[in-house]
Amino acid sequence: MRRYIGYIVVLALILLAGQHRLSRLGPWHENTASHWNHTHRYGIGVHHRHRNAIWGHKGWQQLPGNSLSQPAAGGNNKTPWAAVPGPRPPTPYNSSVAAPDSKISTTPTRLLSPGPSAHIAESPAAAVPVTPLTQLNQLVTGIFITIQASDGRYLAAVNHNTGQGSASQRQKVWRVQLGHGGVQLQCHSHAFLSADLEGRLSIDRMAARRYETFHVQFRGTTASLMSHHKKYVAVNAASSRQLDATATAPTSNFTFRRVPNCESEEACWGSVQSPLHTISKQLIPVVLFSSPKNIDKMLTHQMQQNQLLVFDIWSRLPTKTTIVFTDDPKTAQAAKNNHLTIEPKFFIHPKFNQPTYKTLFDRAIEIGDTDVVIYTNGDILYTHDLLETVTFVANFVKKTSEPPYKFMVVGQRINYELTQPGFTWDPDWEAQIRAFARQGQLFQANAQDYFAVSRALWREIFVPPFVVGGTSFDNWLTGRLIEAGHTVVDGTGTVTAVHLNHGHLKGSHKEPKSEFNTELALKYGGWGGGSVTGCQWYTMWDPATGRMTLWDRSGSLLWA
């Protein structure tokens, strides 16, 4: 009996000891579960917020398996949020990331290049904390920046103002390039901020030279921009593009900031679109005319070949007619072979045995009976974009003014050396000419080789008897029309005009007819202001849309 009682006591002691150990294990299990819950409730949320901060505001897009509510491949179907009770961390501010309980698409999402923050128009530092640049060595080639004036507005590249009150995001972003001992600023249209000799700013040159080079001087968190002729970009009451001779704070002080998440053209400005060319039936009827040199008087066989190539191209342009003014039988036959109109009757200046520009314009208007005529030098190749630009400008003038419509389009040429004997045009001849343009050199801004003039404008103005082939006429005509307030448009940005070199680019400057023209120009107002950069308006292709756009050189450079 005593033995059974002993067994019972031992068994009871064992049971009591086991219960005591289990009671001690309980708190350990609860603490472990609590730690696991805390980690998965808050730890992952902290990590996710940190990841969003690294990628930038709205800069990260969902990929399969990246969402916290989507299991990775091969994992279980229960999300961390469903597995853990209690409050969930806030969903990151990113519209492309689904909420934890939402249905996740299994379709892969392409990771796009992050663009500038939508808040850049208000403040480029609003989305991601970005301190202003303070040292010149921070301005390196390839970075994208904003430039903010002391009054809060931004340096912006905006085309013709159609009533908008503020600049778009991409218009405020500039790409830095270093060259010519300074800083060059390229805008979304791929043109550079430029300072001309008259002390005005424009945004129209596609290649950066000393005119597009600025010296940046930092003073703490602000900096000034000085042009090559030692004048400063400044804020004035009219928001004009006139430079200032003195750097007076705060009018000439700007804040430079690097744009976050903006490392490429596509990310900052959008993808580049090829020009959308106008089909021929939408072009206005024009007359193209010229008075080329006599082929027999050309010094080399290559020059003669080039003239035949030019005639061939002129015959392919969708003009109403193309007139060649010549009394030389060989030149006339070459033009006739290319189905061009020959006009042998025209006024010849008795002293120089050359026609005058005025009489050629008068006769072309009489023959062609169109609202616009285009004079061209005899050695210039064109593509359809000459007619597209003239049509674009004509439509703009019709929408913004009353008849009769008065305007002129001029532009710079591109010099190209064609030395290949027996060269012929391919079926895609425009591509060949554009290739010449890419390989050639843009000639100076005060030399114009074509003039597209409306009939109404030509009939209103007085033109002295400048001799064809001599200097000064181009600068006199352009300068005096600008001075009189007429609509004169620089078409350099959209007109492909390729000059086939002939070995003496300025040979005509030494001839007596040039001296005669110079005296005429001085007598009737001079040739000052006759550069294409003096035109109030200029055309460019918009890389983002592929459409032709009109820009105003006298427009505001600072925008909200």
Distance CA 247, CA 328 (A): 61
Are residues 480 and 367 part of one domain?
yes
Amino acid identity, position 99: A
Are residues 51 and 197 part of one domain?
no
Are residues 229 and 321 part of one domain?
no
Are residues 467 and 373 part of one domain?
yes
- Rounded to 10 deg, the angle between the 429-439 and 301-316 helix axes is 130
Where in the sequence is the domain holding 50, given as residue range(s)? 20-55
Q: Per-residue DSSP letters for 305-349? A: HHHHHHHHHHHHS--SEEEEE---HHHHHHHHHTTPEEE-----B
Residue 106 lies in a domain: no
Residue 454 lies in a domain: yes
Are residues 176 and 324 part of one domain?
no
| pTM score | 0.75
Domain count, the chain: 3
Are residues 252 and 291 part of one domain?
no
CATH number, domain of 136, equals: 2.80.10.50
Q: Give the domain-ending residue among 269, 295, 315.
A: 269
Q: What is the pLDDT along the chain (560 residues), one digit of tens a residue?
A: 555 555 554 455 555 544 444 343 333 333 333 333 333 333 333 333 332 222 222 222 222 332 222 333 333 333 232 222 333 332 222 222 233 333 322 332 222 223 333 334 333 334 445 779 999 999 999 999 999 999 999 999 998 865 677 898 899 999 999 999 999 999 999 999 999 877 889 998 888 999 999 999 999 999 999 999 899 999 887 778 889 888 787 789 999 999 988 889 999 998 899 999 988 889 999 999 999 999 998 988 999 999 999 999 999 999 999 999 999 999 999 999 999 999 999 999 999 999 999 999 999 999 999 999 999 999 999 999 999 999 999 999 999 999 999 999 999 999 999 988 899 999 999 999 999 999 999 999 999 999 999 999 999 999 999 999 999 999 999 999 999 999 999 999 999 999 999 765 555 666 899 999 999 999 999 988 899 999 999 999 999 899 999 999 888 888 88
Are residues 300 and 203 part of one domain?
no
Residue 459 lies in a domain: yes
Residue 302 lies in a domain: yes
Distances, alpha carbon 80 to alpha carbons 29, 60, 68, 72, 122, in Å: 20, 21, 7, 12, 38
Q: At a CB cut-off of 8 Å and minimum separation 6, what does 105 contact?
A: none
Distance CA 398, CA 72 (A): 62
- Rounded to 10 deg, the angle between the 512-523 and 473-483 helix axes is 20
